Each structure stands twice: as structure tokens, then as C-alpha cells.
Amino acid sequence: MTRQYWAHLLPGYEFNDRVRFLEDRGAAGIEVSQAYGPPFVHLAAAASITERLGLASGITMGLTRSPFETAMATIDLDRICNGRSVLGLGTGPEHFTAGYFGMPYDKPVSRLREVIQILRHVEDGARTGTMEPWNGKMYQLKFDAYAPTLPPHRERVPVRVAALRGAMCELAGELADGLIGHPIWSKEWALNQAMESLAIGAARSGRDPADIHLHSWITVSVDRDRRAAIDAAKSQVAYYAGFAQYEPYFEAHGFGPEARKLQEAAKSMEPPQAAAMVPDEMVKTFVACGTPDDVMEWIEPLWHRANSMLVYNPYWGLTPEQVAYKRDLMDEMFWPG
């Protein structure tokens, strides 16, 4: 099996150059996350300057806008890139959706389920030219005076659901084309608990879980100095452990006390300040860190199930020079050209 490594891109001044570089080097694709603005703008820009590169939202927060808008943006991107796109969907943190965007976060899994269903509903309507009303439990949409729109390039745009714990893994198994592993999944969690939950969801729809694409996100902190690699990843772990909704996940790995301390610290500290509270073992559990050989050894077992991987460079608390140094090492490992 050809190992497909995807790259994560942060919008920035060198975006176009980086996109061209990755296509020339043979990367499987790029993913752009939604932090504030939606990722579709940058993905459309990337589509206009590439021919082969896969293009994915990694991730777009599915609850921050109308499901109809998400569906139409997905269809538009699929046409622009001639069928190279993947819609990566997640709920995102509650404080983003409710706080920054002012959108409801109640029953997030149920809401995201309907977002996917509405996407398929809109794809069908775009093909037939008739858009029926949507009367769901979470969303009610009317399409009075609907004017037919162009359908996607493909019959169906692939949808992958991003998950941390069981409920979202089950949703991916039930309804999505793929599952996106969280960037702080441990190997044990990815290969066991997550796959058990995926199978539960797949059984609801009579699907074979092996047919569902597993797209693993791996946080990679590579350095020729092992100590430096571990230290560089601590801010990233502190960031995620600072979310109260993630506490059960860390508790399941034996890091509940550390997570609670980091949640408290997050009230007054930025992740780089809280990094000193993250023990080395916590980093090594959730991050592929160390020398290039160490990183590849950490990753290798995941290929027993993963169909593709995104390798993700930590950036919290790092200078632009440090980020560039790690990026260059990753380029040599994953996209040597």
C-alpha cells in the first residue's frame, strides 16, 4: 500500500508557495483548519494553482454556520478542484462555537449528524433541480423559490468526521465516509477504543467498518535532539488538556490530575506558560516526538489500520524559526521529492 501523507497548512503569507512545493514533492494532499474563518477560501485558492493535490478541510467546524451554507461551499469547492476535495467536519470546542460564533452547541453530535444528512439532501437536490424542505430534529430549512444550482463534480463529496471520543467515532461509522483521528490520539486509543466505537456506529447502518477510511492525524515533534523534541510539544498538549470537555479522555489514559491542573491554568495562562506542568510521559503518550527515527517508529503501528495520515507540526510556544526548522525536517522525512 502506498502510504499517503497529508500536510497541514496554516493560512499565511507563504501559503501559495508552500502549496506548490508540496504538490511538487508528491504530498497526497493539504488540509486547512478552521480557527476563525472557514477553510474553503484557502482551499479554493490552492485548487487554482494545483492539479493533483488532494484538498481537505481539516477541519471545518460544522456547527458555526447554516448546514446549507456548508453544503453549498462544499459543492462549489468540489467543482473548482474537479473532484479533489474532502469535507472534514467536526464539532469544534464549545467555547468557539457558542462563544466566538454565537451558535447553539446543545446536542453537538446530533447536530453534526444532521449537517451531514443535509449535505446529502442538498447534493441530491442540486442534481434533480428540486430542493425539498428539510424538517429535522435540529434544523428546519425551507427552499421556497429555489433556483436550480450546479451539482458537485462527483455524485458524492467524501465526508470525514473528526473525533476524539466514542460518540463521534460512532457517528463516523454510522454515516461518514471516513474518520479523522484527533491529533492527540494515543496509539492505544486509535487502534482499540476508537475502532470499537467505529464498529458500533457502522453496525447501525449495516456497514463494514473496514470500508470506512481512517485518516489519522499525528502530531509530530521532530528534532535531532530528543529533549528539544519533547519540550517543543508540551505547549500543544497543554492547549488540548486545558479544555474541560477533554478531561474524560485524559482521565482514561491516567492523566486526569494533570488535565485538571492544566484546565485551571488555562484560566489565566497561555499554553506556553502552562507547558512546564506537562510531564514528559504525557507528551510521549500523545505525540510522535524525538529524532526522525523515533518518530517513524512511533507512527509505524498505526499503519496497520490507517488508510492515510496527516502529520501535524506543533506550533504553540514556538518561534517562527523553530516551526520552520521542524517543518524542514518533516519535509525530508515525508516528502523527500
Question: Which CATH number characterizes residue 195's domain?
Answer: 3.20.20.30
Q: What value does the mean pLDDT take over residues 83-97?
A: 94
Domain that holds residue 297: 5-227+289-334
Q: What value does the mean pLDDT take over residues 154-159?
A: 96
Averaged confidence pLDDT in the chain: 95
On whether residue 242 sits in a domain, the answer given is no
The cell numbers describing 203, all together, are 453496525
HEC string for 24-50: HHCCCEEEECCCCCCCHHHHHHHHHCC
Name the band, by pLDDT with cuts 50, 70 and 90, for residue 1: low
Q: What value does the mean pLDDT take over residues 194-221?
A: 98
Q: What is the pLDDT of residues 283-328, one digit of tens each?
A: 999 999 999 999 999 999 999 999 999 999 998 888 989 989 999 9
Name the band, by pLDDT with cuts 50, 70 and 90, for residue 79: very high
Positive or negative, the CA dihedral 95, 96, 101, 105 is negative
Helices in 37-107 by DSSP H: which ranges?
40-48, 67-80, 94
Name the band, by pLDDT with cuts 50, 70 and 90, for residue 12: confident
How far apart CA 179 and CA 172 sit, in angstroms, is 6
- Asked whether residue 334 carries a pLDDT value surpassing 70, the answer given is yes
- Asked whether residue 156 carries a pLDDT value surpassing 80, the answer given is yes
On whether residue 250 sits in a domain, the answer given is no
Name the band, by pLDDT with cuts 50, 70 and 90, for residue 14: confident
CA distances, 11 to each of 17, 32, 198, 211, 226 (Å): 12, 8, 32, 32, 29
- Asked whether the whole model's pTM tops 0.85, one would answer yes
Number of domains in the chain: 1
Q: Which amino acid makes up residue 298?
A: W
The cell numbers describing 89, all together, are 467536519
On whether residue 270 sits in a domain, the answer given is no
pLDDT for residue 13: 67
pLDDT for residue 10: 82
Q: What value does the mean pLDDT take over residues 254-272?
A: 96
Which of these, 209, 216, 158, 210, lies nearest to 185 by C-alpha position? 216
DSSP-derived letter for residue 259 is: H
On whether residue 19 sits in a domain, the answer given is yes
On whether residue 257 sits in a domain, the answer given is no
Q: What is the pLDDT of residues 53-68, one digit of tens each?
A: 999 999 999 999 999 9
On whether residue 214 sits in a domain, the answer given is yes
pLDDT for residue 317: 87
On whether residue 259 sits in a domain, the answer given is no
Q: What is the pLDDT of residues 118-143, one digit of tens each?
A: 999 999 999 999 999 999 999 999 99
Q: What is the pLDDT of residues 180-201, one digit of tens each?
A: 999 999 999 999 999 999 999 9
% the chain with pLDDT above 90: 92
% the chain with pLDDT above 70: 99
On whether residue 188 sits in a domain, the answer given is yes
- Asked whether residue 75 carries a pLDDT value surpassing 70, the answer given is yes
